[in-house]
């Protein structure tokens, strides 16, 4: 595929959803002269779902792909076991190989909602990390000083507070960095919380006599509760969410996030986004523009027809107070309320189910359900909150 060197496209690539570029001058030169780049993104399967926060670097991968560059997606099946604590205030527990294998079952399918998998190079980093021995790891570790690691803001806070920092955590940047060596990356993409790890890749590439990769970091996006979107906090909008769930969650975002989500989470033109921003500044009801955002995000992942249906269902549920069409059905393994809430994925855990019931947030056939042991019958309608429904069959 011929490399596209359109200056406007290159400018958009290097500015939209970009927090920082390291090695920018060299990267710009390669982009403008049509050099094919190997552009890397690594994702650890720490949960079964990719979410809109993960979609931001995936969209940047797609931007490179559409210009004709080779994109390389690395599923961190090895690093996922070790655990990255870049954004954590406490030690992340190690996952088992079985947990990681279960989590990553549909990662390629999910990523394929954004990038063209057929034109993508895909690796699991156990391919190379699982083969390294102490001699090679020692060589890599010698490229860094302990002071480099403990100067990181979240690690320094933990040490100052007397919290444990494991040696395992010190090794994680080496592993992510060596991924860049293994696939000979020209560019690595990642969130601002990955900056240290991605810089480690530059150092290790120099150690192995490779040219140091350029780095593009993207801003992090806030989730449903105002904190950084994270599977650990359950404040996500997942790529595999149902249309109604995805639409409803976007509509629940605070108004201040509307333009940020349009900019980072969609590929509407910046001119269109500026027009929406101007409408907000002139006093138009934010809900109307948020409806356009919810429609666009659902359209991206489910198509136009599904987006129209989700929009209509949201309108019925919230504006007309009607039961939505196309309520998902569930044949549960048991008919108690807790099991139904869990198996329908209306909640993630039993404790969340009990909490929702205690707070009068669950209805059965439009009546508040206060008994977690309540036995349901086929045909019963279960509602959690205002927008989540399931029909028992």
Buried b (16+ CB within 10 A) or exposed e, 202-232: bbbbeeeebebbbbbbbebbbbbeeebbbbe
Q: Which two tokens stand for residue 384?
A: 């959690």
Q: Answer whether residue 50 shows pLDDT above 70.
A: yes
**pLDDT higher at 108 or 315:** 108
Q: How confident is the model at residue 23 (pLDDT cuts 50, 70, 90)?
A: very high
Query: Which pLDDT belongs to residue 88?
Result: 61
Mean pLDDT, to the nearest integer, of 165-170?
A: 84
What does CATH list as the number for 329-392? Answer: 3.10.290.10
Domain ranges of the chain: 7-218, 243-319, 329-392
Query: Which pLDDT belongs to residue 87?
Result: 62
User: Is the fold of 7-218 the same as that of 329-392?
Assistant: no
Sheet with strand 214-218: strands edge to edge: 20-22, 214-218, 187-191, 38-43, 70-75, 121-124
| Distances, alpha carbon 231 to alpha carbons 14, 22, 49, 358, in Å | 28, 28, 8, 24
Instruction: Give me the residue label for tokens 């004709």.
Output: 68
- Render pLDDT for 189-224 as a digit per residue (tens, 0 to 9): 999 999 999 999 999 999 999 999 999 999 999 998
Mean pLDDT, to the nearest integer, of 337-341?
A: 94
Lowest model confidence (mean pLDDT) among 30-44, 79-93, 248-262, 334-348: 79-93
**pLDDT higher at 393 or 250:** 250
Query: Which pLDDT belongs to residue 192?
Result: 94
Q: Answer whether residue 1 shows pLDDT above 80.
A: no
Instruction: Give me the residue label for tokens 């021995």.
Output: 133
Mean pLDDT, to the nearest integer, of 241-261?
A: 93
Percent of the chain with pLDDT over 70: 97
Query: Which pLDDT belongs to residue 6?
Result: 96
- Render pLDDT for 57-116 as a digit per residue (tens, 0 to 9): 999 999 999 999 999 999 999 999 988 876 666 677 788 999 999 999 999 999 999 999
Query: Which pLDDT belongs to residue 187?
Result: 98
**pLDDT higher at 250 or 316:** 250
Rg (CA), the chain: 23
What does CATH list as the number for 243-319? Answer: 1.10.240.10
Lowest model confidence (mean pLDDT) among 25-39, 85-99, 280-294, 361-375: 85-99
- Residue of 52, 42, 139 whose CA lies nearest to 86: 42
Superfamily of domain 7-218 in CATH is: HUPs (3.40.50.620)
Q: Answer whether residue 134 shows pLDDT above 90.
A: yes
Mean pLDDT, to the nearest integer, of 115-134?
A: 96
């Amino acid at each position: 595929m011929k490399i596209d060197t359109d200056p406007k496209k290159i400018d958009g690539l290097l500015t939209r959803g970009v927090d920082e570029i390291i090695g920018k001058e060299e990267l710009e030169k390669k982009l403008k002269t049509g050099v094919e780049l190997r552009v890397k993104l690594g994702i650890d399967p720490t949960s079964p779902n990719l979410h809109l926060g993960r979609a931001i670097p995936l969209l940047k991968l797609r931007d490179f792909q559409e210009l004709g560059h080779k994109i390389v997606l690395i599923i961190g099946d090895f690093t996922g076991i070790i655990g990255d604590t870049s954004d954590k205030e406490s030690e992340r527990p190690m996952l088992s190989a079985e947990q990681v294998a279960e989590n990553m079952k549909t990662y390629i399918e999910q990523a394929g909602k954004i990038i063209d998998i057929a034109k993508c190079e895909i690796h699991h980093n156990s391919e190379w990390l699982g083969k390294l021995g102490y001699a090679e790891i020692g060589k890599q570790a010698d490229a860094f000083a302990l002071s480099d690691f403990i100067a990181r803001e979240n690690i320094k806070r933990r040490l100052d507070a007397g919290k444990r920092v494991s040696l395992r955590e010190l090794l994680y940047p080496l592993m992510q960095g060596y991924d860049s060596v293994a696939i000979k990356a020209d560019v690595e993409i990642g969130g601002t919380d990955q900056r240290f790890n991605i810089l480690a890749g530059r150092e290790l590439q120099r150690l192995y006599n490779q040219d140091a990769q350029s780095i593009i970091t993207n801003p992090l996006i806030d989730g449903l509760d105002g904190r950084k979107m994270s599977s650990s906090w359950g404040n996500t909008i997942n790529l595999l969410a149902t249309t109604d769930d995805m639409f409803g969650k976007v509509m629940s975002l605070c108004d201040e996030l509307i333009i940020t989500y349009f900019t980072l989470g969609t590929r509407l033109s910046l001119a269109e986004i500026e027009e929406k921003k101007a409408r907000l500044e002139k006093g138009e009801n934010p809900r109307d523009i948020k409806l356009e955002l919810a429609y666009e995000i659902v359209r991206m992942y489910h198509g136009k027809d599904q987006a129209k249906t989700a929009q209509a269902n949201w309108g019925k549920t919230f504006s007309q107070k009607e039961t939505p069409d196309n309520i998902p059905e569930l044949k549960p393994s048991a008919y108690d309320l807790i099991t139904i809430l869990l198996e329908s994925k209306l909640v993630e855990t039993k404790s969340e189910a009990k909490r929702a019931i205690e707070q009068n947030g669950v209805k059965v056939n439009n009546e508040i359900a206060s008994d977690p042991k309540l036995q349901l019958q086929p045909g019963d309608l279960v509602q959690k909150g205002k927008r989540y429904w399931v029909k028992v069959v």
